[in-house]
Amino acid sequence: TTFADKQYRSPIICILGHVDTGKTSLLDKIRNTNVQGGEARGITQQIGASFIPVEAIKEQTKSFAEKIKMDFKLPGLLLIDTPGHESFNNLRSRGSGLCDLAILVIDIMHGLEAQTLESINLLRMRKTPFIVALNKVDRIYDWKPCVNTDFKEAYKVQSKSAAQEFDYKVKDTIAALAGQELNAELYWRNKDHRKYVSLVPTSAHTGEGISDLMLVVMQLMQKLMLDKVEFTNQLQCTLLEVKVIEGFGTTIDVVLVNGTLNEGDKIVVSGFNGPIETSIRSLLTPPPLRESRVKSTFINHKSIRAAMGIKIVAPGLEKAVPGTSLHVVGPNDDIEKIRAEAKREVDSVLNDVETSGIGVSVQASTLGSLEAFLNFLKKIKVPVANVAIGPVHKKHVMNTSIMLDKDPKYAILLAFDVKIEESALHAANEMKVQILSDETIYLFEEKLKKHFGAIKE
């Protein structure tokens, strides 16, 4: 094929950052400024994602067009709708990240916070390129709101003191990022995207810099990562969630990153009790935006091409593991090989434990979050003896209690964003096994320091 024949898929874009920095608001703003004016401009709601077509992005960035003369090659952007670490962690394939580019949101008034650092670690672990949205610029003292305006235009009309405060905050953020060994620069001053992270000032409330953000994402993808988003028939599909839906039974929500899925395709997904073999009964997406108010039925598709967020209906999905890959079994494929691969993917994470058998117990809700959590424990040098995915049951507490004899400081069970059954709590109480639970990695750091610190004394 010649260059002109190349087809591209939409890049997968995730939004990460500390709580309350404005991740959800930014996502809403990106969608809404595009939907404004009564026309949806082809924005479609997908399962767990929003598709922003290139026409909408052209329209939104047209004020830059003369200066920049960009030739848009990508069909659009697929924004992952659940901002935060969960989706990012589960957009994985054999340990590498499937998110093409991330937007790390930092509150310009707060600078780097605990989950900002956690996000940076996750991005590093998955080798995911990212830019920073320096959000809430409208909160700078005396800032004059310039609704949905390109950032530099908005900056020009600010008072001297507001502009100065903005400059200081940017300097502080750049210095703080340097402390994390990251070179950063305001995006229009960034001459080398491979060495410097671009900062894009935004307001999810008044809309300054939203056009800049879209432009920078598009430019980066096209300038440096075009080969990564070439459409191929090599299937890349990740399972994000398992959900029971009335009338459909157990369904799986997936992101189809590359390739094509068809109704009737024979598929293999990883299960808690081994690989699951089934076939696709329906491929579903939500109804078009304008009709969604009327009735929330799904649209059926015979075939879907990447990149897309899809709900799959198929029998036997109850035990499917979120964060694992979906495989299609073609007519010439060796099913045993594919089953082995599906099993290996889960085992590679579940077997990532101390051979000595001495260490803490860990439990997480999905394979992706478990992998991220184990990575964090490695970093802070906490050995791990037992791992599991899913709610904490009595048997898990019993497993942990073995450590009471071997090395009591490790008789703790770390429950990362999972439910703890009542019976497990009782058992823990009786056996004097400690359960530490939380929904974010950074909160565990403090708890573990306390736990091990108290023991050392």
Which residues contribute to the site for Mg ion (CB under 5 A)? 23-24
Binding to ligand GDP in span 314-373, by CB under 6 A: none
Q: Which long-range contacts (CB under 8 A, 24 or more apart) does 372-378 make?
A: 372/85, 372/89, 372/122, 372/125, 372/441, 373/414, 373/416, 373/441, 373/444, 374/349, 375/121, 375/125, 376/121, 376/441, 376/444, 376/445, 377/414
Backbone angles phi, psi at 289, to 5 degrees: -50, -50
Residue 277 sits in the site that holds ligand GDP (CB under 6 A):
no
Considering only CA atoms, which of 131, 384, 87 is closest in space to residue 257?
A: 87
Binding to ligand GDP in span 419-448, by CB under 6 A: none
**Exactly one of 8, 9, 13, 22 binds ligand GDP (CB under 6 A); which one?**
22
Residue nearest to ligand GDP (CB): 22
Shortest reach from residue 52's CB to ligand GDP, in Å: 18
Stretch that binds ligand GDP, among 21-29, 40-48, 221-229, 387-395 (CB under 6 A): 21-29
Stretch that binds ligand GDP, among 112-120, 136-144, 148-156, 180-188 (CB under 6 A): 136-144
Q: Is the dihedral of CA 80, 86, 90, 96 positive or negative?
A: positive
Residue 22 site contact among ligand GDP, Mg ion, none (CB < 5 to 8 Å, cut-off depends on kind): ligand GDP
Binding to ligand GDP in span 73-102, by CB under 6 A: 83
Q: Which residues pair with 326 in a beta bridge?
A: 269
Residue 23 sits in the site that holds ligand GDP (CB under 6 A):
yes
Dist CA 226 CA 350 (whole Å): 34
For Mg ion, the closer of residues 105 and 200 by Cβ is 105
For Mg ion, the closer of residues 61 and 369 by Cβ is 369
Instruction: Kindly determine how many residues on this chain lie close enough to bind ligand GDP according to the rule CB under 6 A.
Output: 16
Residue 139 sits in the site that holds ligand GDP (CB under 6 A):
yes
Helix and strand numbers (H, E) in the chain are 14, 24
**Residues sharing a CB contact under 8 Å with residue 1, sequence separation 6 or more, in sequence order:** none
Q: Please state, in angstroms and as integers, the Cα–Cα distance from residue 203 to each residue in 14, 52, 158, following that order.
A: 18, 19, 15
Residue 110 sits in the site that holds ligand GDP (CB under 6 A):
no
- Helix H or strand E encompassing 30: helix 23-35
Residue 243 site contact among ligand GDP, Mg ion, none (CB < 5 to 8 Å, cut-off depends on kind): none
For Mg ion, the closer of residues 99 and 397 by Cβ is 99
Q: Please state, in angstroms and as integers, the Cα–Cα distance from residue 243 to each residue in 44, 248, 269, 311, 345, following that order.
A: 21, 10, 15, 9, 21
Residue 65 site contact among Mg ion, ligand GDP, none (CB < 5 to 8 Å, cut-off depends on kind): none
For ligand GDP, the closer of residues 53 and 207 by Cβ is 207
Dist CA 418 CA 427 (whole Å): 17
Return the structure tokens found at 310: 């899809």
Residue 44 site contact among ligand GDP, Mg ion, none (CB < 5 to 8 Å, cut-off depends on kind): none
Shortest reach from residue 14's CB to ligand GDP, in Å: 13
Q: Which residues of 406-433 are buried (b: 16+ CB within 10 A; e: fewer)?
A: eeeebbbbbbbbbebeeebeebbeeeeb
Residue 258 site contact among Mg ion, ligand GDP, none (CB < 5 to 8 Å, cut-off depends on kind): none
**Exactly one of 86, 138, 212, 265 binds ligand GDP (CB under 6 A); which one?**
138
Binding to ligand GDP in span 191-220, by CB under 6 A: 203-205
For Mg ion, the closer of residues 26 and 239 by Cβ is 26
Residue 113 site contact among Mg ion, ligand GDP, none (CB < 5 to 8 Å, cut-off depends on kind): none
The type of residue at 117 is L
Q: What is the largest CA-CA distance in the chain?
A: 72
Q: Please state, in angstroms and as integers, the Cα–Cα distance from residue 193 to each residue in 198, 211, 276, following that order.
A: 7, 19, 42
Dist CA 371 CA 375 (whole Å): 6
Residue 25 sits in the site that holds ligand GDP (CB under 6 A):
yes
Shortest reach from residue 135's CB to ligand GDP, in Å: 5
Site residues (vs ligand GDP, CB under 6 A) = 17, 19-25, 83, 135-136, 138-139, 203-205
